[in-house]
Structure 1
Amino acid sequence: MGGGARKDGGRLPALSAPQFVGRDGELDTLGSALERTPAVVLIDGEAGIGKTRLLREFLASQAERGRRSLVGACLELRVPYTLGAVVDAVRDGVDNVVGLRLSGLGGALRPLFPEWADDLPPAPEALEDATAARHRLFRAFVEVLDRLDVALLALEDVHWADEATLEFLQFLVSRRPQPVSLVLTFRRDEVPSASLLLRLASRLPSDAHLVRLTPGPLDVAETASFVSSMLDGGYVSNEFAAFLHARTEGVPLAVEESLRLMHDRADLIRQDGGWARRRLDRIEVPPTIRDAMLERVQRLHPDSRTVLYAAAVLSGPADFVTLRAVTGLPEERFAAQAAEAFGNGLLREARPGQWSFRHSLACDAVYDAISTGERRAMHLRAGRTLERWPLPPVAQLARHFRLAGVSEAACRYTDEAADLCVQSGDMATSALLLHSLVATVPLPAGILVRLVTKIQFQALSGSDPYSAIIEALRSALTGQALAPMGQASVRFQVGRVLMVAGEIEAGRREILTALPDLSPGSPETARARVLLALPLGNARPVSEHLRWLQEAPPLTQSMASLDRLRLSVERAFALLMLGEEAGWAAAREIPDDVLDPREASIVAIGHTNVGEEATRWGRYDEASARLTKARTLAERHQLLDYLDSIASSRAHLDWFTGAWSGLAERTARLVDDDNGVRLKDRCEAALVAGLLQAAAGDREVAKERLRFAGGDDQQRIEAAAALAQVCLRDGDVDEALRLTDQLAEIVVGGGLWSRAVEFAPARAAALVAAGRLGPAADVVNALEGALGDRDAAAPQASLILCRAILAEADGRIADAATLFFRAAAAWEALPRPYDALLAQESSARCLLVEGRDEAGLSLLSAVAQALSELGAHNDADRIGRFLAGRGGGVVAVARGRGRPGYGNQLSPRELEVVRLLANGLTNRQIADVLVVSAQTIASQVKSAMRKMDVSSRTALAVRVVESGLVGELNQRTSSDE
């Protein structure tokens, strides 16, 4: 601490721990909630807001009343620990289990509590079903809680919980009666979008008692009381309190750390009987808590800093012996300076004799301040120390040796930790462990290939889990002396990961280069040929892709079961993409359920892929069933990162079948989440969002969505077709031709009819609009030749539609009316109501050309009504305007379902955006106010500019102010408030 500033001979008092301030309401709510039948209390708040303090104050009051509570904390995911928080809570709350008289279930706890092995019942018989084994383990934990008469289980930082822990919490809250009350603290902004935590509250039984608490920042008066409590109760000036509040936003941790820094700097002064700060107008509080903490750390003795560095490297509670070992300090130097490190307020005694940082922000700040060399040395010392524990924590060892750069030990412990995670069904943590190792530690090529093969990329969150792996593989190729077969093995993995990442042609080139040197008959060779068979990337005839598939070595019993399953699933997918009926027989071989989590991940992906292809074939019942199976598997095995892929495929199916209610909101969530949802799934969701926007009449936003969707290889054909249709409606024939020119050879020339359902009508219509009837007929003939008599309802309906387009262009109006009507019936049978209605509209227009006005106008009126009910208001309005022009008046159309269309009028949301824009807010600020993404706001601003016929934000603001729209909306907003 710095020396004191003097006033009347007074010296700065030592700072005290802050008193509990400003949380009486939350404390009362917590107490009332937990007085009732077992409750679930969710405490959500930003870092440093005081969630832990609130919980500990409450637990102290419970202890005084003799009620037993167990407390655990989840560690940040960089140190994965399956069920770790629950294990730690039980271990800290139980001295021994001798007197608990556990049933045979207690034997399931032996792997988690080896220190109790002599006192636990014998280990039960192993179960092949991983789900059943996990359920038995959960029941054993519940029995322990019951025998201990635990009233409350509190887990902190649940945003970092592993999937097994979240599944255990779901297990607890679903039991009746609920065995124990739960209090969970977390930061909502750090909860992954697919986390089970988000569904925990929404899926509680109807009789469950749920309470949500969100502690807010301190106000100025509470800030003054908080600071006063640290200054021995001294008076704090209002000016000083307001100054601190303004620069810390009332976040308790920020207030405390800033005050401690000012104390260290001797930057406090007694003034007029109270505490204030020197030169409020000249010396600023550091802009972040991180800066404040680092400045405090730098003021300590170097050995004291080393103790803090060791605590940051360990990142969790550690005893003196472990801390000293990690510091590398001699015992006498450690003892001399440890007291300063423990007494500076950054560390707390988490458990008797074990110390950790009071807050993760402090831990992260200190960790980042350690030099690279010292950090590696400390991780190495930590690994060597933890290896000597009676029960070595393999996940922590994997992390320490990885960050120390010790590849052999890092591989050994990562493999062991990843396998343990898989055994408990935690595929996400297993994938993260393997990915972290491969991405950061140079490994021998053979080990690298084995580990990359084990990574389930679908289980990894984030939009790009591929680049670091590709870089590691390329480094092995260029930096290691490898035999041809070894080189081929690494190169094949480069190609495979590139293709998974969407870089199809680059991946294909790598696989083709590797193939001659791969071991004949190996799973790698078989997978290489299956991947080359996928009709992705640039144009190739379907026959070429089929040849690769036919040349793939057969599946044999000598292959590992996991390899056989993966290859059979991928082969079924390839056959269906290529339009082969044999693909359905292969798809029927995919099991509905499996026990092993690794098999479950393969099967879930398999059902999702088959569901996508069933949608393209027009087998919508099959598609729905497959996606349901995939979702059931993903939820049962906690493959939560798979759910976005399933959701985007389901959204695509719902678009076709007319299940549009809530579809815009579902797709927007996927599209706007550019951190948690991978690009492929965002593109598919953007495709559906764009189609919805086009149907609603917002063409500019629709075009943006569809262009984005075209960034994924599997969506680019349908996205180009949809964009071309929008351009044709706008009269831009040249752009429609350009959009379809490049892809025509892939879809039509190559015979890839499974991708032609949406493309062929768009291409034919564009050619017809350009007066090129011959090439249009060639498109139809090519589709007919490739499709043949296959049982594929959607392509067959598309073929009828193409014939109708040609007949109308040839002047065969009666034939065209009949063909459009047949196409409508074919679409309706699927069902695809939107396409059926558009085909009926075309049929009605042909009837009018023939002079059959009564039939044509009646049909158009019915179609307009149905389109509006579906939510396609732009099309309904277009027909209404046409009917009005024919003297029939504007047809009244219902607006009961779907989203309203506003034509060239600003929608309510666009009005709200423009009002905020006119008040001077940026897109990001508007997004924060309306709780949407900045990308969404940008789209709405562009749409408003188009509708108001202006070319800049400033002009838009002026135009709406002059029109009185903003004043009217401001007045309405004020009256609502």
Structure 2
Amino acid sequence: MNEANIDVTQLPALSVPRFVGRDREITALGEALDRPPAVVLLDGEAGIGKTRLLWEFLTSSSERGPRALVGACPPLREPYTLGAVVDAVREGIGNVSGLRLSGLAGALRPLFPEWAADLPPAPEPLEDATAARHRLFRAFVELLSRLDVAVLALEDVHWADEATLEFLLFLVSRRPQPVSVVLTYRPEELPADSLLLRLSSRLPADAHLVRLTLKPLGVDETAAIVSSMLADEHVSAEFAAFLHTRTDGVPLAVEESVRLMHDRADLIRQDGAWARRRLDHIEVPPTIRDAVLERVGRLRPDTRTVLYAAAVLADPADYPILDAVTALPEDRAGARVAEALGCGLLREDGRGQWSFRHSLACRAVYEAIAVQERRAMHLRAGRALAESTLPPVAQLARHFREAGEVEAACRYTEQAADLSTQSGDVATSALLLHNLVTTVALPAEPLVRLVTKIQFQSLPGSDPYSKVIESLRSALRARALTPEQEALVRFQLGRVLMVAGAMEAGRLEIAEAVPRLSPDSLEAARARIFLAIPLGDARPAAEHLRWLYEAPAVAPSIAPHERLRLFLERAFALLMLGEEAGWTEARQIPDDTASPREAALLAIGQTNVAEAAMRWGRYEEARARLARALALADNHQFLGHLGSIASTRAHLDWFTGAWDGLADRATALVGDDDGVRLKDRCEAALVAGLMQLAAGERARAEERLRFAGRDDQQRIEAAAALAQLHLRAGNVDEALRITEEPAEITIRSGIWPRATEVAPVRVAALVAAGQLGKAADLATAFARALGEKDAPAPRASVVGCRAILAEADGQPARAATLFGQAAAAWQAMPRPYDALLAREHQARCLLAAGRRESGLTMLAEVSRRLSELGAHNDADRVTRFLHEHGRGTPTARGRGRPSYGNQLSPRELEVARLLVGGRTNRQIADTLVVSTQTVASQLKSAMRKLRVTSRTALAIRVVELGLVGDQGHPPAGDE
């Protein structure tokens, strides 16, 4: 036969391959779903047939019982909130009328605007994103519970957004679990920190987990696939083996290879069987992508255009939209769409929606489109979709961004981000805004506005700032800005730099912006506060204060919540600078407000004042402020604020000696990188490191303290603790090195509230190095900066510095008196650990002054009380000293009432069960006839014991542990 003259038109048309080789998996899937509630994890590499298996099963079982809802996670850089779940519900049900949904379902309105007539009114907005997301999850669970649906199947979960994964964890922890869940994913593309990996550990006892992994097909199964595509005619064993070797038995690779050989006319009939011709020369592309692109390249130009349009759309689209994106003349479009469907790359679903059969092929085709053609298609897609009855704003944001249509991209991105925020999905909101400002050269006004709205802590990755910083710097380099525009951009650049930790670089940008900012503007007022707060390198306190005291009045037009923010930030800055006027302003902070937005600011403001109160040594004030912050978080469901309150509370408990369970609480906060901000994790790490130092765990303590030093607010105290560790080990030079900069920042600059911990260590290090003059100068500077301020902790620290100097000067009796005064001052706050360390020094000075019996008796008491407190390393040190001097110590008794350890007490369990039932703290308090403060305390205790940091996580954990029975639906309007 003359191969060169083969007529391609004589080759048979190819069919969609038959489903083969998956009988065992189909059976296992059916058995799992026949025993609800089930969670099925179906994994395998790209093209292995996960989607085909799922659809074959659902099709075959559709007549056996309740139907399934199916959605797919799109491979886009910015998914939309609960996108796969929303698509599954939207495609599976027509409307929600007649479902008898409670008022809670009003939370679904932002995601289902087409159901506005049938959904309850939207509930009151929640400022806290975590609470809003939790409410949305509960609304979805209620909806699924009302539907005649047995299975929720989500495909390609390796691409799922954070909100979708959190919802899955929430869903499977509910009792009763309203639907069984089937999830498909590619293990090789699953992020190492994906929440999907936690799913199996979160299942309650009555749910069962089934894992199915699809493996490549064998040679016989490969032959069966090829035969089914060729009208079930026989395929030679040689041909089957050849394809199996080239494709590794991956079904999609087999199909694409056969289609490519068909297009090339590389298939022949020989001896009654299909084989390949020119055996030694046939090349099969090594990847599915290459096979798809070669096949697409062989199509007519108009047919390729249809495929390009479908790839640009990415989401399923109806024919009019697809036709509009192709821009083909009417007399050519219909035939080419049919031809594109016939090539096997596209599919049409039951709703007349067109899309690629496989995301791999879609992405390969998209990347092959020339840049200019791609931009033009995105523009046509955006304009066509914008004419929809309910425009899909997330899709419009992407299309106009890729088309370079700046105004439309900004408008729709902002709308999509706002919708995500309303649903509590700040991660998707931040990603939408971040992608726009870092990929499109925006004018100054929208650039500043959108950067202001980005919540950086919600972005993935370790550095969410650098690209935004570069976009702002690019805007400045363009030199097409008015002076006022340049100032606004520069202010935003400085703000982001400071948030990113580059304090000095940010300060310089903000300082340069201030002269050109409108004097009475919000930006000018905030800029001055940023420059006033003493963060970063050392500057005289007077320089920071000047920014506050020389600030002009803000314009009356500034929104009330922004005015409140400025007031709270000003009070905090004054307190951090050691100004008594800060307390005058702090006393004017209201306990609550009717505005959720203002309440959120108050919760943050009260927490910040509590932190400042700790610096001053006003621990009762700090505790009261934290109680107010917690009450605000409880009353307004600010779940996202709990981590900050908890870390500050842990810090306060360290100071005041409330150490029972503190190490575990702090460690849990450090490890919660999902629910706790880095700043708060650093504060918790400081507490954990200090606890480990007191317990003698030096290596672990160093690790924690170095982590704590990543936050500017904690780095001075962390440096003091590290220096103390080195000083006790005799490494004086390292102690001097570590404390040099913190001493400059706090003492030399006159910013005494941050000097309490570092000053005595620095003085002791200078004394140990023989630099008594410098040590004395430092103590004097500290005392002069403090003046007559009512600040118990710094005042006790000053006395401690003088005691160290007296001891070094050979005056043990005077030193003993001063150490005794310091101990009494510490104890009065109370700050028992520091009081005991001062007593230890006092006792040693008494020994040096010849008062042996008094000194040894005092040391014995110190040893006992250190042991009771939990400072075992220090207690052991004192005990060894006593033994060396011939004095034993009595065995210390543990203190405190018996506890339930890490088990929930009966009342904590009762509160947790009511929480799982969907009740607020106030409703729980009414049920149990206790105060909301008592409920909040019991919930915090339960969170600590179960090592979670949010109400949602506690509810999930309680259900996982089987501590609750079946829970009914939350009462209507339960918020």
Query: Normalised by the size of structure 1, how large is the TM-score?
Result: 0.73
Does the Cα contact within 8 Å between 2:25 and 2:212 map onto a contact in 1? no
Does the Cα contact within 8 Å between 2:33 and 2:180 map onto a contact in 1? no
Residue 940 of structure 2: aligned partner: none
| Aligned partner letter, 1:215 | L
Pairing 1:65-76 to 2, within 5 Å after superposition: 65-76=64-75
Deviation of 1:379 (Å): 1.5
Pairing 1:327-346 to 2, within 5 Å after superposition: 327-330=326-329, 335=334, 338=337, 341-342=340-341
Residue 518 of structure 2: aligned partner: 519
| Aligned partner letter, 1:457 | F
Pairing 1:845-924 to 2, within 5 Å after superposition: 845-846=844-845, 849=848
Deviation of 1:161 (Å): 5.6
Q: C-alpha separation between the residues in 2 aligned to 1:256 and 1:98?
A: 44
* CA gap 1:326/1:834 in 2 versus in 1, 3 angstroms: farther
Deviation of 1:539 (Å): 1.9
Residue 510 of structure 1: aligned partner: 509
Residue 35 of structure 1: aligned partner: 35
Does the Cα contact within 8 Å between 2:243 and 2:254 map onto a contact in 1? no
Pairing 1:958-977 to 2, within 5 Å after superposition: none
Does the Cα contact within 8 Å between 2:16 and 2:344 map onto a contact in 1? no
Deviation of 1:534 (Å): 0.8
Q: Secondary structure, in 3 states, of the residue corresponding to 1:151?
A: strand
1:394-442 deviation per Cα after TM superposition (whole angstroms, max 9, x unaligned):
1211121112111111122223223333333433333332232222222
Q: C-alpha separation between the residues in 1 aligned to 2:202 and 2:101?
A: 31
**1:215 and 2:215 aligned:** no
Deviation of 1:760 (Å): 0.8
Pairing 1:108-187 to 2, within 5 Å after superposition: 120-121=117-118, 124=121, 127=124, 148-157=147-156, 179-183=178-182
Does the Cα contact within 8 Å between 1:687 and 1:709 map onto a contact in 2? yes
Residue 429 of structure 1: aligned partner: 428
User: Identity, % of aligned pairs?
Assistant: 65
Q: Secondary structure, in 3 states, of the residue corresponding to 1:714?
A: helix
Instruction: In structure 2, list runs of 5 or more residues that go unmatched.
Output: 229-234, 896-975
1:774-818 deviation per Cα after TM superposition (whole angstroms, max 9, x unaligned):
322232233333334545454344334333322332333345456
Deviation of 1:39 (Å): 5.9
Q: Secondary structure, in 3 states, of the residue corresponding to 1:539?
A: coil
Pairing 1:313-392 to 2, within 5 Å after superposition: 313-330=312-329, 335=334, 338=337, 341-342=340-341, 347-349=346-348, 351-392=350-391
Deviation of 1:770 (Å): 1.0
Does the Cα contact within 8 Å between 2:41 and 2:212 map onto a contact in 1? no
| Aligned partner letter, 1:230 | I
* CA gap 1:408/1:597 in 2 versus in 1, 3 angstroms: farther
Q: C-alpha separation between the residues in 1 aligned to 2:284 and 2:687?
A: 49
| Aligned partner letter, 2:517 | L
Does the Cα contact within 8 Å between 1:670 and 1:681 map onto a contact in 2? no
1:275-322 deviation per Cα after TM superposition (whole angstroms, max 9, x unaligned):
999999999998877667666666666655544443332222223332
Pairing 1:944-955 to 2, within 5 Å after superposition: none
Residue 455 of structure 1: aligned partner: 454
Residue 403 of structure 1: aligned partner: 402
* Most deviating of 837-846 and 868-877: 868-877
* CA gap 1:43/1:162 in 2 versus in 1, 3 angstroms: same
| Aligned partner letter, 2:390 | L
| Aligned partner letter, 1:766 | A
Q: Secondary structure, in 3 states, of the residue corresponding to 2:757?
A: helix
1:605-631 deviation per Cα after TM superposition (whole angstroms, max 9, x unaligned):
545544543443445676677678878
**1:771 and 2:766 aligned:** no
| Aligned partner letter, 1:313 | V
* Most deviating of 630-639 and 518-527: 630-639
Deviation of 1:733 (Å): 1.9
* Most deviating of 132-141 and 395-404: 132-141
Does the Cα contact within 8 Å between 2:26 and 2:57 map onto a contact in 1? no
| Aligned partner letter, 1:325 | A
Q: C-alpha separation between the residues in 2 aligned to 1:792 and 1:355?
A: 70
Does the Cα contact within 8 Å between 2:860 and 2:889 map onto a contact in 1? no
Deviation of 1:763 (Å): 0.7
* CA gap 1:535/1:145 in 2 versus in 1, 3 angstroms: closer
Does the Cα contact within 8 Å between 2:38 and 2:209 map onto a contact in 1? no
Deviation of 1:685 (Å): 6.2
Q: C-alpha separation between the residues in 2 aligned to 1:47 and 1:636?
A: 48
Residue 754 of structure 2: aligned partner: 755
Q: C-alpha separation between the residues in 2 aligned to 1:452 and 1:704?
A: 34
* CA gap 1:383/1:804 in 2 versus in 1, 3 angstroms: same
**1:731 and 2:730 aligned:** yes
Deviation of 1:753 (Å): 1.6
Residue 230 of structure 1: aligned partner: 225
| Aligned partner letter, 1:517 | R
1:719-777 deviation per Cα after TM superposition (whole angstroms, max 9, x unaligned):
43233223323323223223323332321112212211221122111111111223222
Does the Cα contact within 8 Å between 2:325 and 2:380 map onto a contact in 1? yes
Q: C-alpha separation between the residues in 1 aligned to 2:774 and 2:481?
A: 52
Pairing 1:246-265 to 2, within 5 Å after superposition: none
Does the Cα contact within 8 Å between 1:667 and 1:689 map onto a contact in 2? no
Residue 94 of structure 1: aligned partner: 93
Residue 575 of structure 2: aligned partner: 576
Q: C-alpha separation between the residues in 2 aligned to 1:874 and 1:287?
A: 63
| Aligned partner letter, 1:68 | R
1:67-86 deviation per Cα after TM superposition (whole angstroms, max 9, x unaligned):
13323334456444345444
* CA gap 1:315/1:724 in 2 versus in 1, 3 angstroms: same
| Aligned partner letter, 1:805 | I
Q: Secondary structure, in 3 states, of the residue corresponding to 1:356?
A: strand
* CA gap 1:24/1:586 in 2 versus in 1, 3 angstroms: farther
* Most deviating of 363-372 and 692-701: 692-701
**1:472 and 2:467 aligned:** no
* CA gap 1:176/1:687 in 2 versus in 1, 3 angstroms: closer
**1:798 and 2:797 aligned:** yes
Q: Secondary structure, in 3 states, of the residue corresponding to 1:64?
A: coil
1:612-665 deviation per Cα after TM superposition (whole angstroms, max 9, x unaligned):
434434456766776788789889999898787677656656765545544685
1:43-86 deviation per Cα after TM superposition (whole angstroms, max 9, x unaligned):
68887776655654553454231213323334456444345444
Deviation of 1:842 (Å): 4.1
Q: C-alpha separation between the residues in 2 aligned to 1:690 and 1:126?
A: 43
Does the Cα contact within 8 Å between 1:461 and 1:678 map onto a contact in 2? no
* CA gap 1:415/1:736 in 2 versus in 1, 3 angstroms: same
Deviation of 1:540 (Å): 1.8
Residue 958 of structure 1: aligned partner: none
Q: C-alpha separation between the residues in 2 aligned to 1:450 and 1:854?
A: 71
Residue 547 of structure 1: aligned partner: 546
* CA gap 1:645/1:348 in 2 versus in 1, 3 angstroms: farther
Q: How many residues align?
A: 878
Instruction: In structure 1, list runs of 5 or more residues that go unmatched.
Output: 897-977
Q: C-alpha separation between the residues in 1 aligned to 2:854 and 2:273?
A: 90
Greater relative CO (CA pairs within 8 A, separation 6+): 2
Residue 807 of structure 2: aligned partner: 808
Does the Cα contact within 8 Å between 2:40 and 2:212 map onto a contact in 1? no
* CA gap 1:54/1:757 in 2 versus in 1, 3 angstroms: farther
Deviation of 1:525 (Å): 1.7
Q: C-alpha separation between the residues in 2 aligned to 1:719 and 1:652?
A: 12
**1:441 and 2:440 aligned:** yes
Deviation of 1:568 (Å): 2.5
* CA gap 1:467/1:125 in 2 versus in 1, 3 angstroms: closer
Q: C-alpha separation between the residues in 1 aligned to 2:644 and 2:266?
A: 55
Deviation of 1:849 (Å): 4.3
Residue 746 of structure 1: aligned partner: 745
